[in-house]
Amino acid sequence: MTTVLIVGAGPTGLTLACGLARQGVAVRVIEKADAFHTGSRGKTLNPRSIEVLADLGLGRRLAAAGRTHLPFRKYYAGEFVNETEPFADAGPTAAVPHPASIWLPQTRVERLLRELLAELGGAVELGTELVDLSQDDGGVRARLADGRTIAAEYLVACDGGRSTVRKLLGTAFIGVGDPEPMMVCGDVEVDGLEGGAWHQWFGPQGVFMLCPFEGTRRWQLQSSPETDAEGRAIAPSLESFQRLAALHTGRADLKLSDATWLSTWRVNVRRAESYRTGRVFLAGDCAHVHPTAGGLGMNTGIQDAWNLAWKLGYVLRGLAAPALLDTYQEERLPIAAWTLEVSTAGMDAVSEGINTPGVGVEAGRVGDFTGLSLGYPWSRLAVDRLAGPVRAGDRAPDAVCTGLDGRPGRLFDHFAGDHFTLLGVGAAAASALTGLPDHVRPVLLDDPDGTTRRDYGITGDALVLVRPDNHIALTAPADAREEVLDYLAALR
């Protein structure tokens, strides 16, 4: 029997597969498509997703493949207005090693994740379509289009906004949608345009944007759709893209070619009513879809997977009781609600700015799109004994400390992996770091200049228990070792 069957091989499914495979959990990833996607689709990883993928071991590979600084060059009615750069002043700090997003097409993110999965002994099964499923107390049975069946202990649906699994479960997809396309999209090659910026033309006729990708001739095109005499949107094509380029830029010298991934985008703001039905879970776009403002789609899916991976792994490895799995929906569904709200507000802000010279897509950044401030303080897994600005449930900040090899390093080096980390802040916490379970890594921080205390909001010496997904589980006084052990025991 397969331990976990993952349906869908996008960033969500692949992140989940890598997170489970790293724990030694047997996973099977099936993908309906006969070939891997080649269209760019999502194009940014926010700082929190970078931290997640760096923990999995992809940090250097991501940095080498993408770019962290991309100017936004803005035009109005064809005329240059200004150029801005959202992360121009962003620099790493002790608490935040990745302050800027990485511009990287989703296809490259998926390729890197597939490579990592292969290193962990896994692979994606293409052309493998789930058409039905059943479940009982012992597991899930998935029936495939070719008549085969797969038996698994758990199934996780990562099969997108039109999810077959969600429909088979009968899970309501709550929200609203517009049947008319708002944007047309595609990947193209462009001659006559400088590739060091994201070019954004706004004006009375709508929006036309061309975003370059590092190390390639490809650009992602996004535009208000071309319409026919009756006002109906014309299907995207190279010829249509070329006409849209001339219309919005006023330039006859821009030549577009080799158009691929021709797509339309419609406004859908929906989320699943439930993220769990028995032994079946929903993650990524099949659990929530929303406007593109802020680039939260791929990132929210990756972070769904990050939350679920350690919990499924701990239950399957006997380190936690099955009740832990209920906290996946408890923690992630409110994040989806926030995502729908803030991305809708961002889309509205961009739409309202179309007729204002100098406005670009950064107008849609109406919330914290870095993901660094998102946490789960409402969760039953969050226990605070210390009052401070950093609470249980929050993302645990990084810090400069002694590394695993005894040399100067970072706290994130200690977090990397599938264990809990018990931080002892100050000498008084040293005695609490002995005799811990094997899945808890003790780390003593001297913190002579108070940097870690400041970043964690701690006064004096203390204990901080950090979850495998690098969120704070518990904060307590330095002499509260028994409380830490009680917390861990309660998970079982």
Residues belonging to the chain: 492
CATH number where 36 lies: 3.50.50.60
Write out the DSSP string of 424-439.
EESGGGGGGGSS--TT
In a domain, 375, yes or no: no
CATH number where 223 lies: 3.30.9.10
Indicate whether 215 and 234 sit together in one domain: yes
In a domain, 338, yes or no: yes
CA geometry: angle 439, 443, 448, nearest 5 deg: 165
102, 64 Cβ separation under 8 angstroms: no
For residue 43, what are its two tokens?
A: 């194009």
Indicate whether 169 and 193 sit together in one domain: no
- What per-residue confidence (pLDDT) applies to 404? 73
Residue with tokens 């249980």: 392
In a domain, 160, yes or no: yes
- What per-residue confidence (pLDDT) applies to 202? 96
- What per-residue confidence (pLDDT) applies to 306? 98
Indicate whether 57 and 22 sit together in one domain: yes
CATH number where 400 lies: 3.40.30.10
Indicate whether 274 and 402 sit together in one domain: no
- What per-residue confidence (pLDDT) applies to 160? 95
47, 370 Cβ separation under 8 angstroms: yes
In a domain, 332, yes or no: yes
* pLDDT, tens digit only, all 492 positions of the chain: 689 999 999 999 999 999 999 999 999 999 999 999 988 999 999 999 999 999 999 999 999 999 999 999 999 999 999 999 988 888 899 999 999 999 999 999 999 999 999 999 999 999 999 999 999 999 999 999 999 999 999 999 999 999 999 999 999 999 998 877 889 999 999 999 999 999 999 999 999 999 999 888 999 999 999 998 888 889 999 999 999 999 999 999 999 999 999 999 888 999 999 999 999 999 999 999 998 888 889 999 999 999 999 999 999 999 999 999 999 999 999 999 999 999 999 999 999 989 999 999 989 888 889 999 999 999 999 999 998 888 999 999 999 888 777 788 899 999 999 999 999 999 999 999 999 999 999 999 888 888 889 999 998 899 999 999 999 999 999 999 999 999 999 999
Q: Terminus-to-terminus CA distance in the chain, angstroms?
A: 24
Indicate whether 187 and 170 sit together in one domain: no
Q: Domains in the chain: how many in total?
A: 3
Q: How far apart are CA 323 and CA 311, in angstroms?
A: 10
In a domain, 79, yes or no: no
Q: In this structure, what DSSP letter does residue 232 have?
A: P
Indicate whether 241 and 346 sit together in one domain: no
In a domain, 310, yes or no: yes
Indicate whether 166 and 259 sit together in one domain: no
- What per-residue confidence (pLDDT) applies to 88? 87
In a domain, 61, yes or no: yes
270, 174 Cβ separation under 8 angstroms: yes
Indicate whether 387 and 471 sit together in one domain: yes
- What per-residue confidence (pLDDT) applies to 446? 82
Of 266, 297, 313, the last residue of a domain is 266
* Residue 295, phi then psi, degrees to nearest 5: 60, 40
In a domain, 371, yes or no: no
Query: E strands within 95-223?
Result: 102-103, 124-125, 130-136, 139-144, 149-157, 173-191, 198-203, 206-212, 218-223
Indicate whether 332 and 407 sit together in one domain: no
Q: Which amino acid, residue 228?
A: D
Count of beta carbons in the 10 Å neighbourhood of residue 438 = 7
Indicate whether 100 and 220 sit together in one domain: no
Q: How far apart are CA 289 and CA 416, in angstroms?
A: 30
Domain that holds residue 480: 383-491
For residue 32, what are its two tokens?
A: 């309906």
Q: Half-sphere exposure of residue 412, counting CA atoms within 13 Å on the CB side? A: 20
Indicate whether 258 and 393 sit together in one domain: no
Indicate whether 261 and 406 sit together in one domain: no
Write out the DSSP string of 313-355.
HHHHTTSS-GGGGHHHHHHHHHHHHHHHHHHHHHHHHHHHTTT
Q: How far apart are CA 361 and CA 44, in angstroms?
A: 13
25, 4 Cβ separation under 8 angstroms: yes
Count of beta carbons in the 10 Å neighbourhood of residue 312 = 26
